[in-house]
Structure formats: C-alpha cells, structure tokens
Amino acid sequence: MSTPFYVSPEQLMKDRADFARKGIARGRSLVAVQYADGVLLVTENPSQALHKVSELYDRLAFAAVGRYNEFENLRIAGVRLADMRGYSYDRRDVTGRGLANAYAQTLGTIFSSGGEKPYEVEIFVAEVGERAADDQIYRLTYEGRVADEHGFAVMGGDADTVSSYLSEHYADGASLDVALGVAVAALGHSKDERGQDADRVIPVDDLEVAVLDRTRTQPRKFRRILPAALAGLLGERGPAEHAPEAHASQTPPDDTPGDGSGPEEPPVAPPLA
Amino acid sequence: MSDARIPAAFLRPGTSSFSDFLAENAPDLLPARRSLPAGSAADIAPHGTTIVAVTFPGGLVMAGDRRATMGNVIAQRDIEKVFPADEYSVVGIAGTAGLAVEMVRLFQVELEHYEKIEGTLLSLDGKANRLSALIRANLGMAMQGLAVVPMFAGYDLQRGVGRIFGYDVTGGRHEEASFFTVGSGSLFARGSLKKLYRDALSSDDAGRVCLQALYDAADDDSATGGPDLTRRIFPVVWVVTADGGQRLSEEAIGALADQVVGARMTRPDGPVAPLPGGDERGEAR
C-alpha cells in the first residue's frame, strides 16, 4: 500500500475553491436587482426549457449559475423542503432565511468533505416582503458562505465587470422597466483588450427574466416575463447580438496560470486527500 | 426542517409528486396513513354537505353551501367547502370535513409542487387522476365512516372548455357533461339543475342556477344550509374561465341570493319550467 503525498489543509481547500470558482466563471452572469415592487432576476440563457431562475415558494425565488445538474438538484431539494414545511406548518412559515441556511449547510458540508467533488454552483435565494425594506437577496457560494445582499447582486461569468456597471447605474426604488433596462445593459457590458467599452445588445429571446412581484394579488408572487412582454418593457435598444462563443472560455480573475483545460473540457476533479 | 444539511432524499432526483415524496419520507404527514381503532367514527366528526357545479360556454361555476353537521347538530354555519386547487381548477368537498379539508390542502400542494418541479401545468385529466389516487388512499377510513367525496372541476386549457369530474369513495372518477352535485342534498339539487340547466348559459346565469339548486337542496335536506339572511352568510361561488379561477365577492353573491330569496317569497318552490305539450300557462321565469 502506497502512502499518499502530504497535502496541507490550506492547499487542499485552495485547490477545491479554485476548481469550483473556475467552473462557475465559465457560464454567463446572473443579476438580481431590487426594484420598487420586488426583486428582478435576469440572466442570459438561450434555452427556453432549462431554467436558471425559478419559483421556490409563495414569496421565494431561486436563481443559480454553474453546473446545471448540480443546481437543479438543489432547486428540487428546495422546492421539496419548502412545500413540506408549508404543508406541515403554514405557508407563512416558509422563509428565505430557512432555505438559505439549509443550502449553506449542504454546500458547506459537501465542500469540506474529502469524499465529494465540491459543487460548482452559486445561488441566490430571493424573498419579497410586504414592503421594499423587507425584501432579501441571499447569496450562497460553493463553499457554503451566506451573504445578505442589498440593492443588486451579480454572480457567475464576468461578475466584476457586470457589477461595476451596476454600481454606477443602479438606483433604489426604480420601476420595473427602468430596473430591467439597467440589468440587461449590465449583462451586455464588457470591455475589450484595450479596456474600451465593447457593450452589446442581448437579443430578447436570449434573456431569462423573472420577478417576485409584491403587487400580485395571488399568494404566489413569482412571475416569468416572456420574450414578447420583454420587448415592450425594454423598448428600442439597437441591433441585437448573440453572445460570442468564446465567452465560455472566460477565465476567473484571480486564477493560477492556465492548467491546460480548454473551454469545452469538463473540469478535472481536485486532488483528494 | 432542521438547519443542518438537507437530507439525501431531498436531493435525489425522482418523483415530481409531493404525496409520493411524503409517502416515502414523511408518511405520518399523509392524511390517509393514520391507523384508526375499530368502529365507526361517523357520528363524532362534522360532515360537509352539498356542492353543485355547472358548466357554461367558456368555463364553469362551482358553489357550495356553508353548513357542517354532526348528527342532528349544526357544527358550523360558515364552513367553506369549495377551494381553488390551482389557477385553473377548483375542488368542492362533501363528507368528513376535517379529513376533506386536509385532503384539499394536500391536493393543492400536489399540483403546485408538480408545476414548480416540472415547470409546466398538469393536464386537467392528470389533475383529476391525482385526486383519484388521494381518495383511494383514504378508503380504509371511508369504511369506518370517514368518507371524503370531492368534486373536481376546471378549465381545460387544451380543449378550451370547462369540465366537471365526480368521484366515488373508492377513487373511481367519472366525467359529467354539464352539471353535477355531491353531498347529502345532492338529489334535490340535481332535480333542480335538471330543470334549470340549459346549454348557452352566461356565467352570471350559471351562478344563478347554482344558487337556485342549493336553495332547493336546503329546502328539502336538513343538513344543507340555505342563504342565511340575518347573518349574511351565503354560499361560496367560484367561477373558472380561461382567465383563471375567481371567487365571487360577498356583495355579488349577496345580491344574487337576495334575488333568489325575493322570488321565492312569491313562489316558494322556485322558477317554473316550461311544459312542452301542456297548456300555455306553464312558463319559465
């Protein structure tokens, strides 16, 4: 029997974190924005069938970036957890905090256990309250960290670029069409090699948009905004452009030098202790 | 839900059915999984009574009286027995009220759960079949006097019509063409509907027909409550169309009920149906 090489715990965790971060940055960004009537979730997703944003419960929405099979599992677990809790107690007892905690524990345990590959996902759990001050956006990272975001939040893809655009243009208490316009422009925002703005207009059909709208009369506040309605809300934006294929190979900002894994290759499992 | 890691069963892909998931992971939460001591419990549990439903071009109306009885006692005079199942369907309950309300709650979660997990609505027949399964699971309790007999109706988005489904205690379902009744006053209500129903009702008239039928049921069945004019308690009426289900407001039902009761002041037996072949005096209202 051979003795495994010694790997320090710091190095082990760093390797696992790098692995997860790389997987997450490979996709496209997702934006959550608070607006006057609730929370708006927008991402670029050419698929109309495989959603990145979906309903969890009456006042809760789920949004994720990263590996589809992994976050789909987490989404289904969240729906089951929420429905079971709402059925055995009351619908009002299902809260964003409860679900965010459950997700955090799950992601944290998977990340630090040696036996499993860390999940390459990042998640938002958004909650809409009676008033704008009660709205919440929880961000959950691959290692199980929870953060409480205010105003707007971005994850996945080139999150820093999108986030810098939003921090310049975001305003509290905006109407839906204004907030949507800013969010979509932020997703299309990018810089070329020389640091010049190279923004593009994302086609309406490539957008996945949903809101938690507190003005809905039904108890279920989640609503998808379909492309037909989006065109009207966004107004005239100039010629649209699909995402360049090369976008998928985007490397995360604080990464170690290239390890040879190409854009389309599946990620390699991290070293196990 | 404890605040630790989500149990593995929740993360396992598989069923889109909430009741199947409960049966596997939390069977004690299912209404039908409780064992009962031998004997009949029929006399100690409040019973809900009459529900009627009527289709009209473009939708349907379901209405239920507000009485629950326990033997000869009126257990509750403002119980609600017609519930939205999801956006495009409603369910009305007769039988043991406590169990029925719990079954409706489970059915509501079942439909919503499927919709969220699959990202699409169940077909109307699919919804009706799920309800069958829930009723069938309750057969043991039904045999001890705790039967639940719901009626399900909804707007079929594919066909663009309102449809009504009736059930028996074993979960057998049957589709009804134009109108249906369940509960203790159902025989009288059905007789009334037979004479009042016609093919091209408006949604308002369909509501009117339902109230007339419930009045007739209350007239001859002691377990069915009529409109309570002193307390202003009136039947629950739901209208379902392509735009979704909507409950009629208290004012709207109050106005309809006042009309119905007003007409009964002059003719207590209600509207007169035309009599083909008879002499000319028989005329509908």
Both tokens assigned to A14: 């760093």
pLDDT in tens, B111-121: 999 999 999 99
pLDDT in tens, B190-199: 999 999 999 9
Alpha carbon of A144: minimum distance to chain B alpha carbons (Å): 11
Which residues of chain A lie closer than 8 angstroms to B116, CB-CB?
A: 54-56, 79, 83
pLDDT in tens, A152-165: 999 998 899 999 99
**Cβ–Cβ gap A85/B1 under 8 Å:** yes
B1 falls within a domain: no
Three-class SS state of A183: helix
Residue A262 pLDDT grade (very low, low, confident, very high; cuts 50, 70, 90)? very low
pLDDT attached to residue A175: 95
User: What is the value of pTM for the model shown?
Assistant: 0.88
Task: Compare all CA atoms of chain B with the CA of A48 and give the residue at the minimum distance.
Answer: B119
Complex-level ipTM: 0.88
Closest residue by Cα to residue B94 from B205, B156, B186: B186
B11 falls within a domain: no
Which residues of chain A lie closer than 8 angstroms to B118, CB-CB?
A: none
Which residues of chain A lie closer than 8 angstroms to B112, CB-CB?
A: 83, 220
- Distance between CA atoms of B129 and B17, rounded to whole angstroms? 12
B189 falls within a domain: yes
pLDDT in tens, B212-266: 999 999 999 999 999 999 999 999 999 999 999 999 999 999 999 999 999 999 9
A82 falls within a domain: yes
Query: Which residues neighbour B31 within 8 Å (Cβ) at sequence distance 6 or greater?
Result: B99, B102, B103, B106, B138
B75 falls within a domain: yes
Which residues of chain B lie closer than 8 angstroms to A54, CB-CB?
A: 116, 119
Query: Which residues neighbour B269 within 8 Å (Cβ) at sequence distance 6 or greater?
Result: none
Calculate the average pLDDT of chain A.
Answer: 87
Q: Does A106 touch chain B (CB under 8 A)?
A: yes
A240 falls within a domain: no
pLDDT at A216 over 90: yes
pLDDT attached to residue A258: 41
A85 falls within a domain: yes
Positive or negative CA dihedral for A88, A92, A98, A100?
Answer: positive
**Cβ–Cβ gap A51/B29 under 8 Å:** no
A24 falls within a domain: no
**Cβ–Cβ gap B1/A84 under 8 Å:** yes
Three-class SS state of A168: helix
A223-229: Cβ within 8 A, 24+ apart: A224/A53, A225/A180
pLDDT at B66 over 70: yes
**Window from A252-266, B16-30, B236-250, B253-267 with minimum mean pLDDT:** A252-266
**Cβ–Cβ gap B117/A79 under 8 Å:** yes
Neighbouring-strand partners of residue A136: A127
pLDDT in tens, A108-164: 999 988 778 999 999 999 999 999 999 999 999 999 999 999 999 999 988 999 999
Task: Compare all CA atoms of chain B with the CA of A110 and give the residue at the minimum distance.
Answer: B5
> Taking a contact as any Cβ pair under 8 Å apart, which residues of chain A between 15 and 74 contact chain B?
49, 51, 54-56, 73-74
B18 falls within a domain: no
B81 falls within a domain: yes
Q: Does A218 touch chain B (CB under 8 A)?
A: yes
Length of chain B as a residue count: 285
Q: Which chain B residues have any C-beta within 8 angstroms of a chain A C-beta?
A: 1, 3-6, 10-11, 13, 18, 21-22, 26, 29, 87, 105-106, 109, 112-113, 116-117, 119
Comparing CB atoms, the residue among A77, A109, A218 nearest residue B10 is A77
B29 falls within a domain: no
Tell which of A48, A55, A80, A143 to mutate to test the B interface (max B CBs under 10 Å).
Answer: A80
Which residues of chain B lie closer than 8 angstroms to A226, CB-CB?
A: none
At position B187, the amino acid (one-letter code) is L
pLDDT at B133 over 80: yes
pLDDT attached to residue A252: 44
Comparing CB atoms, the residue among B11, B18, B29 nearest residue A73 is B11
CA distances from B264 to A41, B217, B232, B234 (A): 56, 14, 17, 16
B207 falls within a domain: yes
What's A191's domain CATH number?
Answer: 3.60.20.10
What's B169's domain CATH number?
Answer: 3.60.20.10
Average pLDDT over residues A192-201: 81
Average pLDDT over residues B267-272: 94
Domain of residue B195: give its range: 40-266
Q: What percent of chain B has pLDDT over 70?
A: 97
Our count of domains for chain B comes to 1
Residue corresponding to tokens 């998931």: B21
A198 falls within a domain: yes
A227 falls within a domain: yes
A268 falls within a domain: no
Which residues of chain A lie closer than 8 angstroms to B13, CB-CB?
A: 73, 76
Our count of domains for chain A comes to 1
A95 falls within a domain: yes
pLDDT attached to residue B230: 95
Average pLDDT over residues B56-64: 96
Average pLDDT over residues A236-263: 57
Q: For residues B2 and B264, which has the higher predicted lDDT (pLDDT)? A: B264
Size of interface A-B (CB pairs under 8 A): 65
Q: Print the SS3 string covering chain B.
A: CCCCCCCHHHHCCCCCCHHHHHHHHCHHHCHHHCCCCCCCCHHHCCEECCEEEEEECCEEEEEECCCEEECCEEEECCCCCEEEEECCEEEEEEEEHHHHHHHHHHHHHHHHHHHHHHCCCCCHHHHHHHHHHHHHHCHHHHCCCCCEEEEEEEEECCCCEEEEEEECCCCCEEEECCEEEECCCHHHHHHHHHHHCCCCCCHHHHHHHHHHHHHHHHHHCCCCCCCECCCCECCEEEEEECCEEEECCHHHHHHHHHHHHHHHHHCCCCCCCCCCCCCCCCCCC
pLDDT at A257 over 90: no
Domain of residue A207: give its range: 29-234
Task: Compare all CA atoms of chain A with the CA of B5 and give the residue at the minimum distance.
Answer: A106
Task: Compare all CA atoms of chain B with the CA of A85 and give the residue at the minimum distance.
Answer: B1
Comparing CB atoms, the residue among A51, A74, A87 nearest residue B29 is A87
Which residues of chain A lie closer than 8 angstroms to B10, CB-CB?
A: 76-77, 80-81
